[in-house]
């Protein structure tokens, strides 16, 4: 589904990504792991088009997306959860989700001003998503009043409001309490069972090894190992 081929990206003197290649197979959970600074988030930024590589290629469903815009890439079905929260604190959960549905800003502000009616279709989508992440009762709460873990749940839901074939999640459970971690694990496995493809960056090894089908290990900008969780757990180089 996704092929990353010989990617290079540097920031001044820092070689963040060096000759990085891997493949993401459809309908599986693939985890990208590795120490801080290994280049994982940079790879995500390259795939989603936020950054452009100096060399290398990214192929998504046989389309070369290496030099496409963020918007084009997102319209092809790559949806992304960021490492840092991107919710607007002063808006309600529902307003934040409307923003995800109306990615043209002007349309959104018109919605808030009541100039654009919120359609039944949008209401239904948002309700369905909130149910999925068990956050129905928080619809009218301000984002600022949610716990960190609850924000992550809303953001996770938001990734599937957009067109999506591949979900890319950057540290979905970092800073989230164990009970909500458990919920997120279930939601992700549920996504997979529905046929979605997930590419996940995560530091929590027990979480990752439990839900991932394939684990790719990065260090210093490149892939150093790849395999099933059992294989990775016993790989001396990885340890």
Binding site for ligand ADP (CB under 6 A): 11, 14, 16, 34, 36-42
Tokens representing 27?
A: 């309908």
Residue with smaller CB distance to Mg ion, 41 or 150: 41
* Closest approach of ligand ADP to the CB of residue 218, in Å: 7
The answer to whether 26 and 32 are in contact (CB under 8 A) is no
Dihedral-angle region of residue 12 (phi above 0 means left; psi in -120 to 50 means alpha; beta otherwise):
left
* Closest approach of ligand ADP to the CB of residue 200, in Å: 12
Would you give the DSSP letter of residue 137?
G
* Closest approach of ligand ADP to the CB of residue 39, in Å: 4
* Closest approach of ligand ADP to the CB of residue 212, in Å: 16
The one of Mg ion, ligand ADP, none whose footprint includes residue 181, by CB under 5 to 8 A per kind, is none
* Closest approach of ligand ADP to the CB of residue 156, in Å: 18
Residue with smaller CB distance to ligand ADP, 12 or 117: 12
Dihedral-angle region of residue 171 (phi above 0 means left; psi in -120 to 50 means alpha; beta otherwise):
left
Stretch that binds Mg ion, among 38-46, 54-62, 102-110, 184-192 (CB under 5 A): 38-46
Angle (nearest 5°) at CA 19 between 14 and 22: 125
Kindly state whether residue 48 participates in binding Mg ion, applying the rule CB under 5 A: no
160: how many CB neighbours lie within 10 A of its CB?
21
Residue with smaller CB distance to ligand ADP, 41 or 150: 41
Residue with smaller CB distance to Mg ion, 41 or 79: 41
Q: Which of 30, 41, 74, 183 binds Mg ion (CB under 5 A)?
A: 41
The one of Mg ion, ligand ADP, none whose footprint includes residue 148, by CB under 5 to 8 A per kind, is none
Residue with smaller CB distance to ligand ADP, 41 or 197: 41
Q: Which of 33, 55, 37 shows the shortest CA–CA distance to 221?
A: 37
* Closest approach of ligand ADP to the CB of residue 85, in Å: 16
End-to-end CA distance of the chain: 29
Dihedral-angle region of residue 32 (phi above 0 means left; psi in -120 to 50 means alpha; beta otherwise):
beta
The one of Mg ion, ligand ADP, none whose footprint includes residue 36, by CB under 5 to 8 A per kind, is ligand ADP
Going along the chain, which residue ranges are E strands?
A: 2-11, 14-24, 29-33, 55-60, 63-64, 78-81, 166-170, 197-201, 214-219, 222-227
Q: Which residues bind Mg ion (CB under 5 A)?
A: 41
């Amino acid at each position: 589904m996704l092929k990353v081929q010989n990617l290079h990206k540097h920031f001044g003197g820092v070689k963040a990504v060096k000759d990085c290649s891997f493949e993401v197979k459809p309908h599986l959970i693939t985890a990208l792991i590795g120490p801080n600074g290994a280049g994982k988030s940079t790879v995500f930024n390259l795939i989603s088009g936020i950054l452009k590589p100096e060399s290398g290629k990214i192929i998504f469903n046989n389309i070369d997306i290496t030099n496409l815009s963020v918007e084009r890439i997102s319209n092809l079905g790559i949806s992304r959860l960021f490492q840092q929260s991107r919710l607007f604190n002063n808006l309600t959960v529902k307003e934040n989700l409307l923003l995800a549905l109306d990615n043209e800003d002007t349309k959104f502000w018109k919605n808030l001003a009541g100039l654009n009616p919120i359609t039944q279709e949008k209401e239904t989508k948002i309700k369905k998503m909130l149910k999925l992440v068990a956050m129905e009762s928080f619809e009218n709460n301000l984002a600022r009043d949610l716990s960190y873990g609850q924000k992550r749940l809303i953001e996770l839901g938001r990734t599937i409001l957009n067109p999506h074939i591949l979900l890319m999640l950057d540290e979905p459970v970092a800073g989230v309490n164990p009970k909500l971690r458990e919920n997120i694990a279930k939601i992700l496995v549920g996504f997979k069972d529905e046929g979605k493809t997930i590419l996940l960056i995560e530091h929590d090894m027990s979480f990752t090894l439990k839900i991932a089908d394939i684990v790719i290990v990065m260090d210093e900008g490149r892939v150093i190992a790849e395999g099933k969780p059992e294989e990775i757990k016993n790989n001396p180089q990885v340890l």
